[in-house]
Structure 1
Amino acid sequence: MADAPKFHPALAITNVKSLISITLDMESGQYHSWAALFKVQARVHGVLEHIISPTEAKEKEAYEQAKAADLSLWKRLDAVVLQWIYATISPDILNSILIDDDSAEHIWESVTDLFHDNKHSRAMYLNTEFTTTRLDDFSTTSAYCNRLKSLADQLANVGAPINDHALVLKLLQGLNESYKDFVMVIQNKKNLPSFATVRSKLALAEKNLQERAKHEADSTTFIAQDQPANDRTQAPPNRESSQGINSRNYANNNYRGNNNRKHNKSGSRNNGKGNRGHSSGG
């Protein structure tokens, strides 16, 4: 009867992306973060030796003995680690390193070499991004600070670290005119605060600016809504009064017209009588 397959914790992982949330690509420059997360999971699940061979004599001997004792399990675990690598890298990287029947350790080294070979050009690109980053490109100060911190971490990963002092100066340099008072206060301190402290103070300054802007907007709205009521105290020409004046003018004109017609009729009758008197006398 064949022996039952031995259980190993690495075999229970069905979705490694839930454990390693970063998908490695050439553009993001997150190799060191990806590698750190990957090594943690490999150590937790007992397969770290599949990507990094032991260097100490005793550890190396124990590893070789375990491999020889159950070569079938070792090959299966190596394939599992290969799956983890393939599942957490971009298609471009996968196509550049994929080799049939390769080992997890060799693929790991290939990915490492791929990023180390481009280290200097990557550092130049990241440094340009870092120096040109400004608050105006982001919706909040938090997003702006996150971007600066991410770029600083990536520069450190390629051998071009940014110290905390330089990071704070860059943060202040990238702010816009709205924060000129904030910049002045921080710059005038005897000892420049840490990046974490300045970031916290910047978030508070942003909140104060937003509340001030909201208050000013509410005041403007109140004045605009109150204006018609003020205008009503200076009464506009009364439409009814105008109509009344027009009615009186019309009545006066009718009155004068009627008098003129009566006068004309009276004159006509008198003229008629005079003409009849002359006729009789003749």
Structure 2
Amino acid sequence: MSGDDKLDQPTPKSSLHPVYTVTNIQNKVRVLDGTKVSSASWVNLFTLHARGYKVLHLIDGTPPLPEDDTLYDGWYEIDAHVLQWIYGTMSDELLPRILEHDSTAQSAWNRVRNIFLNNKGAHAASFELEFNNLKLANLPSFDAYCQRLRELSGLLKDVGAAINDQRLVLQLVRGHPKEYDN
């Protein structure tokens, strides 16, 4: 058999599940802190990676395998990896609120979701207050000021209190010092 013949042969598919190829989930999904990284952004990134690594079924509400299923041990091990991903992408403040002994990825996912869904009104009020009171003088540069307004606009959208572009521009102008009135 020549070297060219080997190229025509099908290669056996690896039996290693894609979840085992992730060595540091924080390289793929940023740490959820609720301010710099919003829950909506985190959920979007996390579900994208869960789909790509073929583990979305562990967090989308699909029932777990019964313990007497012959595939249960493999399912349980992969679920533990996804649970580690969730825990590994939580801020130090959020981790104690979702960390639970003998948890599944689905139950941890639900705890994260509940933290943010149950507090939408409070988050909206807090973000709205900061948005309305933000001034250029409070930040080191014009770029930082614009970035923070944009971040707050995104956070407000994530909690169901979206602001339109006109209001964003008005706040941008309103937050300037008197020297910029011209």
TM-score interval, smaller chain:
0.7 to 0.9
Amino acid at match of 1:171: L
Say which SS state the counterpart of residue 94 (structure 2) adopts: helix
Given the alignment of the two structures, is residue 39 of structure 1 paired with residue 47 of structure 2, yes or no? yes
- The change in CA–CA distance for 1:118 and 1:29 in structure 2 (over 3 A counts) is farther
The residue aligned with 1:277 is none
Structure-2 separation of matches of 1:6 and 1:79: 18
Structure-2 separation of matches of 1:26 and 1:37: 14
Given the alignment of the two structures, is residue 18 of structure 1 paired with residue 64 of structure 2, yes or no? no
Structure number with the higher helix fraction is 1
Q: TM (normalized to structure 2)?
A: 0.84
Amino acid at match of 1:39: T
Structure-2 separation of matches of 1:64 and 1:91: 31
In structure 1, list runs of 5 or more residues that go unmatched.
Answer: 55-59, 182-282
Q: TM (normalized to structure 1)?
A: 0.55
Q: Percent identity?
A: 35
- The change in CA–CA distance for 1:11 and 1:39 in structure 2 (over 3 A counts) is same
Number of residue-to-residue matches in the alignment: 168
Given the alignment of the two structures, is residue 51 of structure 1 paired with residue 51 of structure 2, yes or no? no
The structure whose RCO (Cα within 8 Å, separation 6+) is larger is: 2
Larger radius of gyration: 1
Given the alignment of the two structures, is residue 174 of structure 1 paired with residue 182 of structure 2, yes or no? no
Question: 1:183-222, aligned counterparts within 5 Å?
Answer: none
Give CA-to-partner distance per residue, 1:227-275, whole Å, 9 cap, x none.
xxxxxxxxxxxxxxxxxxxxxxxxxxxxxxxxxxxxxxxxxxxxxxxxx
Question: 1:145-164, aligned counterparts within 5 Å?
Answer: 145-164=146-165
Say which SS state the counterpart of residue 181 (structure 2) adopts: helix
Say which SS state the counterpart of residue 46 (structure 1) adopts: coil
Structure-2 separation of matches of 1:92 and 1:138: 25
Q: 2:31–2:37: 8 Å Cα contact kept in structure 1?
A: no
Which of 38, 44, 48 is residue 30 of structure 1 equivalent to? 38
The residue aligned with 1:220 is none
